[in-house]
Amino acid sequence: MDIIPAIDLIDGKCVRLSQGDYTRRTVYNEDPLEVARQFEDCGISRLHLVDLDGAKASHIVNHKVLERLATKTSLVIDFGGGLKTDEDLKIAFASGAAMVTGGSIAVKSPDVFKRWLSTYGPDRIILGADVKDGRIAVTGWTESTELDLEPFLDAYIKEGISKVICTDISKDGMLQGAAVELYKTVLQLHPSLYLVASGGVGSMQDLEQLAEAGLPAAIVGKAIYEGRIPLKELARFLA
C-alpha cells in the first residue's frame, strides 16, 4: 500500500482542519518545505498537497508553494484545491504537479473535468470524491450536494477515471480510524480502481487495517503531525 502524506496549505503554512471546518484549524509548521523534506528523508516518494485557500477562493492560490516543493524535493506531488479553469490546471502543472485532483470541478463543471481527463489522461487526473453523510460535498467541504457516492464514481469510471481519492469528511482530522467498510464496498464494485483512502487515520493499526482491506494507497496527515505515527514507524512500514 502506498503511503501518501498530506500537506494542507492556508496562507502558505502547513495546517490541518477538523472535519473540514476552516474555523477548527491548527498550524503545524510555517515552512511546508521543511515538512516535505522530513517525509522524503524517511523514504516516502509521494505527497498530497491541498490548497485550502484555493478551495475556498475557487481558483489556485498556493502555486508558489507547490513550485518550491516540486523543485526542492524529489516527491511526486498530486495537487488539489481550487482548480476550476484550464488556466488553473496549466499553472498547477507548470508549477510541478505530477497529478492534479479535481473534486468540485467534477461536480459543477463535468464537461471541463472530462476534457481535462481526455487531454491529460487518467494517470495525471485524479477524481476527488469527498463524502458527507453518503453524499458528495464540494467547495472545500462547505457545500453538500444531492449526489450519492456510488453513481458519481460509476459515471466517471466509465469516462476513464482510474484514480480516486475518497475522503469521509466525518472522520477527517478526528484520528479515530478510517472508513474501512466504505472503501471495501467501493473496491468490491470496482476492484481495479486505484482507490486512495483519506481521513481518520490515527495509528499504524489503522494503516494496517486499510492494507488488509486491499486499499492501494492511503493519505496520512494529522496523525503524523500529532506524533501518533512517528516517521520512523512509517519508514519501517514502507520497508
Catalytic residues: 8, 130
Number of other residues whose CB lies within 10 A of the CB of residue 203:
15
Give the whole-angstrom CA distance, residue 136 versus residue 133.
Answer: 8
Give the whole-angstrom CA distance, residue 107 versus residue 156.
Answer: 11
Sequence-ordered list of residues with C-beta below 8 angstroms from that of 128, at least 6 positions apart, any chain: 80, 101, 102, 103, 106, 164, 165, 167
* Secondary structure of 33-58 as H, E, C letters: HHHHHHHHHCCCCEEEEEEHHHHHHC
Q: What is the CA radius of gyration of the chain?
A: 16
Give the whole-angstrom CA distance, residue 211 versus residue 97.
Answer: 26
Nearest-5° angle of CA 53, CA 55, CA 58?
100
Give the whole-angstrom CA distance, residue 94 versus residue 1.
Answer: 29
Which one-letter DSSP state was computed for residue 175?
-
**Closest C-alpha among 67, 53, 73 to residue 97:** 67
